Structure 1
Amino acid sequence: MNPQIALPILIPLLAGAISLVFWRSRSMQRFIAVAGTAGLLLTALWLLTTVNRDGILVMNMGGWPAPFGISLVADLLGATMVVLTGIIGFAVALFSLGSVKRSHETYGYFPLMHLLLAGVAGAFLTGDIFNLYVWFEVMLVASFALLILGSEKAQMEGAIKYVTLNLISSVVFLVAVGLLYGMVGTLNMADIAFRLATLEDDGMIDVLAMMFMVAFGIKAAAFPLFFWLPASYHTAPVAVSALFAGLLTKVGVYALFRVFTLIFNQSPGYTHEILLWGAGLTMLSGVLGAAAQYEFRRILSFHIVSQIGYMILGLALFTPLALVGGVFYIAHHIIVKTNLFLISGIVQRLRGTYELKSLGGLYQSHPWLAVLFLIPALSLAGMPPLSGFFAKFLVIRAGLEAGAYGVTFIALLVGLLTLYSMIKIWAEVFWKATPSEADVDPPPSVGSKEMWLMLAPVVALGMCTLFIGLNAEPLYALAEASAGQLLDPDRYIEAVLGDTQEKTP
């Protein structure tokens, strides 16, 4: 038994429950938000250190051995994703102290934030395919409630699109789980992988693989069912947008990585070819959508879609270097994209709008904010020596080595168009002259304490981006070790089920 695996799930659940107890105390809820997310980050770091030292860890809930009970499994990929969840949760909690309205706090913002983090951590650590569905639904409930905080018209419209497409994804996921259980008689992912390897019904296996690809592709906002994301993410409070941008789609990407390396790896020439062109179309459609926008958060939302394509490309190529690039890209993007959304919130606080045409002059009035924007913006575009350069370099080099020249050209083109979008934001928000007073809403008053609380996580995440770019070796080594485990599913199966003699017939 390894009870520490459960801590990244239990801590946010406990923090959310305590927040409900102190419903009427705003100061206690805010304190619990910071303490709970800090606890999540510390236990996640402990878990990653242990997994890196001792190998894959397994915890069987209720004392029931796998595959009969529900297992929590922490390999390097899962543990890394939980650490990133802790980093983003802590950063957003700090930012929320200075940005979230009092009315939103009274509607349950902080308990819902904890519930969302628990769902994300649970999805990364579960070893049971139905339990993965359960954690997806926990995230859906919490994210929908966070999305409609304030109940403005734009929020409700975005929330309807968000929940409709995600419910369709959930239905496809649940049907696929039922069919899979009918085939193999188990829900434990390691046991599923073991049993599927002995079956000869390749046609039905491919059908199930496509169903899971559709379900997780929608969750990840991959082409063609990605439009729910840019229609909804820009409508929520900015702290919520940042939390969603950093984590939610990455759960769908993680699920694709987990399922298509562990379970559906029998015919990669078929499934991964579809993933390959899906990745190219996701990159292209997302970046073209961003190029047409002139609202800060809508541009960033479309770029989430385009960057998801790079991650899926790493999985689709299915080579050691490509998987290393995919894992590296996930880690880089979570930090960078969250930071960009947080910066957009500071811009809105200073100028009262997200519309680029109504912004300008921030380089002269707030040069420090311009520098803080350039770090994640140039990293997202893949400029050296920032983290995005190494992430893109690994994926593109893997594409060239695999002979996937068409999709590699798309990846290079998308990088240039991403740079164009970031330059557009820079020119409109920071470089051009401040518009006349008639064109700009009067900025709300900003207390120095609130501004520092908003700036602190932006600075910290910017430093993370610089550190990864200037010292990429630690993250590269971690990504390489994670990819090694993904390419050797027998290690995962043996860790969960024991040796061959202990596996169920």
Structure 2
Amino acid sequence: MNLLIAVPFVVPLLGAAATLLLRRAPRAQQVASAVTLAVVIADSTLLLAATADGTVVASQAGGWAAPLGITLVVDPLAALLLLVSSVVLLIVLLYAIGQDISGLSRAVPQVFHPIYLVLTAGVCLSFLSGDLFNLFVGFEIMLTASYALITQAPTRARVRASMIYTVVGLTSSIFFLTGIALVYALTGTVNLADVAEKLGAAPAGLRMVLALLFLVVFGIKAAIVPMHFWLPDSYPVAITRISAIFAALLTKVAVYAIIRTQTLLFGRDDVSTVMMWIAIATMVIGILGALVQDDINRIMSFALVSHIGFMVFGLALNSVAGIAGVLVYLVHHIVVQATLFLVNGLIRQYVGHTSLRSIRGLTVVSPLLAIFFFLPALSLAGLPPMSGFVAKVALFQAGVQAGGWLIYLGLTAGVLTSLFTLMAIFRVWARAFWGTPLPDMLEARAELRRGPDFVGRRLMAATTGTMVGVGLLVAAAAGPLTDIAFTAARDLLDGRAYIEAVLPEGAP
């Protein structure tokens, strides 16, 4: 089991080294990247099977006992997110390979594959880390790789976006290091389980300050309002393969970190009121921003910000049902956001951009593309029987059970956000998919059908369709997914199983 825990982090790093050595053999490099992620998926499946009943497994690197050594921990939450993330990473990688084969991307494949696998390692380490410092390391690996990826196929807009992204990321990292230093000064440790035990003796006011500091740190990375301004200026300008994986995973890793720290470390300190106000502001301001955009990528970016608010809302409920709803929503949102950005990449094939001002008639040009957009868009709006409906029902039920005027205000904001999301989607559908296609779009369709890059384009369409299928599978598997989510939520709020797995001799 110790070996299985290390695989999601170590194997991508080894794969990155291998793909770097294979940079002069593109096909071998592509195969090596795909095989690497397939191994991570297989390993994550085994880890989820081993922890789905609430089991928590810890591995001490080098045999150094916690809290001195590097601890990797797998519980139902980490295993579930590892599996979903690795599946999305593989599908987006195959989409990127299709882009390279078809010649639609100006990115450098020889550089892309090693950096992409380094990003994978950072994501996996963030989920597995059992101490604050290595959580920081995981974020920095992930963000350093993302700095390089966002400037692939550089343009003036992408260089500007990367500078904004870098400055915001470094600012958040400085706050993160400050928080780690304060925790270490207070407790003498950075091991999460050990900190959870020792923080109980700290003054309540100081614990509250630390809880708010870490909420700000990860709130910046998760793009919650008012710390969201960087995301709509960064994600839309990146090439499709990058924006899809950024939208799917980077903010969700930050949401995971908020969940982990606020439940395990600061569960005894009530910051629920602050989080509820943040959730309401994030939902409403994000979706209002989406309604006034004329570019599909920017609409989806603002919608991404808005729907982060649903996850913060569930966490603010501080209940098993609320956190279980957050976990279901996390899985749904990872898949749906990746799908919609991949669809936007397919739209670029016909018009070369995603501006609503000069797109119409996509349903006539490509009925399959219309289906690919329609299904995940309905899920994002939360219409039945899609996964978004299941996730929102879980959150709303938890809110009704909790009660209180502020929670009801949050529920109202959630309902309005869902309606406004549907309005934004209908606006995209009405302007881009209905109507008579432009002549240039019909010419592009004819060219795509007879072009020499047919295989690559087919692979892009197939992988997008696969992502749509994954979204439908999430809805179909709502029962088992909800069971795992409730098991994980109970463990998160209790915390004893986590502490006992990491510190068996010091467990209460």
- Identify whether the pair has TM-score above 0.5, normalized to the shorter chain: yes
DSSP 3-state at the match of 2:437: coil
- 1:74-109 Cα shifts (integer Å, max 9, x gaps): 000011111111111111011001124565235611
Give the Å deviation of 1:184: 0.1
> Which residue of 1 is the match for residue 489 of structure 2?
483
Query: What CA RMSD, in Å, does the superposition of the two structures yield over aligned residues?
Result: 1.7
DSSP 3-state at the match of 1:192: helix
Q: Contact 1:98–1:454 at 8 Å: present in 2 too?
A: yes
Structure-2 separation of matches of 1:141 and 1:239: 17
> Which residue of 1 is the match for residue 336 of structure 2?
336
CA gap of 1:294–1:54, structure 2 versus 1, over 3 A, is closer
Q: Contact 1:353–1:441 at 8 Å: present in 2 too?
A: no
2:467 maps to 1:461: yes
Specify the code of the residue in structure 2 equivalent to 1:222: I
Structure-2 separation of matches of 1:478 and 1:458: 27
Give the Å deviation of 1:398: 1.5
Specify the code of the residue in structure 1 equivalent to 2:217: A
User: Which residue of 256, 280, 301 maps to 1:254?
Assistant: 256
CA gap of 1:249–1:328, structure 2 versus 1, over 3 A, is same
Structure-2 separation of matches of 1:229 and 1:242: 13
> Which residue of 2 is the match for residue 234 of structure 1?
236
2:415 maps to 1:412: yes
Structure-1 separation of matches of 2:353 and 2:437: 13
> Which residue of 2 is the match for residue 31 of structure 1?
31
DSSP 3-state at the match of 1:104: coil
User: Which residue of 111, 125, 145 maps to 1:122?
Assistant: 125
Give the Å deviation of 1:426: 1.1
Structure-2 separation of matches of 1:400 and 1:54: 26
Give the alignment of 1:178-189 within 5 angstroms: 178-189=181-192
Structure-2 separation of matches of 1:249 and 1:468: 20
Give the Å deviation of 1:441: 10
Give the Å deviation of 1:181: 0.2
2:480 maps to 1:474: yes
Q: What number of residue pairs does the alignment pair up?
A: 498
Structure-1 separation of matches of 2:475 and 2:293: 29
Structure-2 separation of matches of 1:106 and 1:254: 30
> Which residue of 1 is the match for residue 386 of structure 2?
386
Specify the code of the residue in structure 2 equivalent to 1:189: L
Give the Å deviation of 1:442: 5.8
> Which residue of 2 is the match for residue 196 of structure 1?
199
Give the alignment of 1:44-443 within 5 angstroms: 44-52=44-52, 55-100=55-100, 103-106=106-109, 108-199=111-202, 201-268=203-270, 271-403=271-403, 404-435=407-438, 437=440
Q: Contact 2:23–2:110 at 8 Å: present in 1 too?
A: no
Specify the code of the residue in structure 1 equivalent to 2:265: I
Structure-2 separation of matches of 1:492 and 1:454: 41
Give the Å deviation of 1:122: 0.3
Specify the code of the residue in structure 2 equivalent to 1:215: V
Specify the code of the residue in structure 1 equivalent to 2:174: V
Structure-2 separation of matches of 1:156 and 1:297: 18
Question: Where in structure 1 are there 5+ consecutive unaligned residues?
Answer: none
Structure-2 separation of matches of 1:358 and 1:170: 40
Q: Contact 1:351–1:440 at 8 Å: present in 2 too?
A: no
Specify the code of the residue in structure 1 equivalent to 2:147: F
Structure-2 separation of matches of 1:441 and 1:138: 43
- 1:12-64 Cα shifts (integer Å, max 9, x gaps): 11111101111222112211121111111111111111222571111001110
Question: Where in structure 2 are there 5+ consecutive unaligned residues?
Answer: none
Farther off after superposition, 448-457 or 232-241: 448-457
DSSP 3-state at the match of 1:58: strand
**Sequence identity (%):** 38
Structure-2 separation of matches of 1:159 and 1:267: 36
Specify the code of the residue in structure 2 equivalent to 1:316: A
Give the Å deviation of 1:469: 2.3
Specify the code of the residue in structure 1 equivalent to 2:226: P
Q: Contact 1:123–1:136 at 8 Å: present in 2 too?
A: yes
